Amino acid sequence: MESPRRSPLPFVERIACSTLLIAAAALLMPASAPAGFLGELQAEIQEILDSNPGSVVKVVSSYRAPADGAEQTPVRVVSGVVWDAHHVVTFDPALGRASWIEIRAEGMEARQASLLGQDPISRLSVLQSTKELAAPLPRRHVPARNAEVILILGNPTGDRPSAKIGLVGGGVPRGLDLGPSEWMHITAPIGPGDAGGAVLDIAGKLIGIVAGALPETGPGDLSVAVSIARARRGLERLIAKGAQGEYGYLGVTAEECSDPLPCVQVTDVVPRGPAFEAGLMPGDRILKVNGVTVPSVDALLESVVYSPIGTALRVSASRGGSPLDVDVVIRRRTVGFDRSVDWAIAQEGMGAAEKKNLSPSHVSSPPTKALELFEAKFETLESEVDQLRFELERCTGSIPH
């Protein structure tokens, strides 16, 4: 009696198994033997690449204005992902200092681009192209799951994207100052220029943008990506409003706590800031904002950053075990969002000369009408000085929310 025939492994399992068996298969399988599921895997990857030409691009940037008649010398290369007909999303914190940006892809003429802006929470950059781009990758708005099989596409050469198979790993260590709701650990090896590339699910849908390998995080370094499901709101806001988009500011530093439910405890309050004027104090435990629970610092930051300027947010907190409700009027943020880890990624792989070119003295400021600049600075000067003085006195390295 013949034993029942085993059904083929589901495609997800075949991909996971292939990462372990591919070396053994190459050694043990005769050249004339059928490729089996490894061949099917390769065909699936090839189909994804063929069906999305030009959707993953090379981003070249320069940080020194050329002398008269001289050519631009690219000093930095990352990958990028086409978001729509005229926008590319990438991860490169250094782009804010670039004097020249160009987008390249297979079968496409090089296109000059400008930095539209950088989302303050995800730290993703949006580039605006001077000409129409290729069709974007389909996107998935459901967050990635732990151990989900993924495909990484990078394009540091400007030709055909390179492909790597990996898995979504566990969470990102809190000590790295990365928002766990925005970031995911990926197991695929990240090479030079892969930052800004695409993280796809097995259906070929975009689920993340590669941030890069964080140096000095242990054997092999830790590779991370930004979740598209989490970052989509900020990216769409940035594209709609551009660099002039305003972000809200609460005026506190905080840490996560339990009360007994997850909450956020205020550790410091910026003098004369929105929270200060509303009566919040260090030690207060924030439970909800406008009736929505804030279980983490990231949740608090998101509830504030994207709120319209001048909006009054009802903050429900506790002080010494007693309930406390205050209305905080959100102001325009004037303190930057840069975090040290951004520059750890940005400078990874750069030479000394390239790092020197990132100095502000080598970069011209973008043209701004003098009157508009004066009015904007005058309006926020007092608040900005207070905030900066507070940060210098505390020297905690925390980002005010």
pLDDT computed for residue 9 by the predictor? 39
Does residue 228 share a domain with residue 128?
A: yes
Does residue 302 share a domain with residue 209?
A: no
Closest listed residue to residue 227, CA positions, set 193, 174, 256, 185? 185
What CATH number is attached to the domain comprising 273? 2.30.42.10
Report how many domains make up the chain: 3
pLDDT computed for residue 214 by the predictor? 67
Residue 153: inside a domain, yes or no?
yes
Does residue 63 share a domain with residue 119?
A: yes
Does residue 230 share a domain with residue 121?
A: yes
Specify the pTM: 0.66
pLDDT computed for residue 35 by the predictor? 56
Last residue within a domain, chosen from 241, 262, 284: 241
- Cβ neighbours around 353 below 10 Å, total: 9
Does residue 323 share a domain with residue 203?
A: no
Residue 356: inside a domain, yes or no?
no
Helix (H) or strand (E) run with residue 232 in it: helix 228-241
Last residue within a domain, chosen from 197, 214, 241: 241
What CATH number is attached to the domain comprising 137? 2.40.10.120
Instruction: Give 88's DSSP letter.
Output: E
pLDDT computed for residue 390 by the predictor? 53
Mean pLDDT for each consecutive 10-residue tract of the chain (401 residues)?
A: 41 44 40 61 83 93 64 76 97 87 92 89 89 95 88 91 87 46 80 93 94 64 84 86 74 85 90 93 95 88 86 95 95 54 42 38 34 46 52 49 54
Residue 328: inside a domain, yes or no?
yes
d(Cα 212, Cα 221) in Å, to the nearest integer?
10
Contacts of 90 (CB under 8 A, 6+ apart): 59, 78, 79, 80, 81, 124, 125, 127, 195, 196, 209
Residue 394: inside a domain, yes or no?
no
Domain that holds residue 44: 11-51
Residue 84: inside a domain, yes or no?
yes
Does residue 231 share a domain with residue 258?
A: no
Does residue 208 share a domain with residue 71?
A: yes
Last residue within a domain, chosen from 241, 270, 304: 241
Does residue 194 share a domain with residue 109?
A: yes
Residue 59: inside a domain, yes or no?
yes
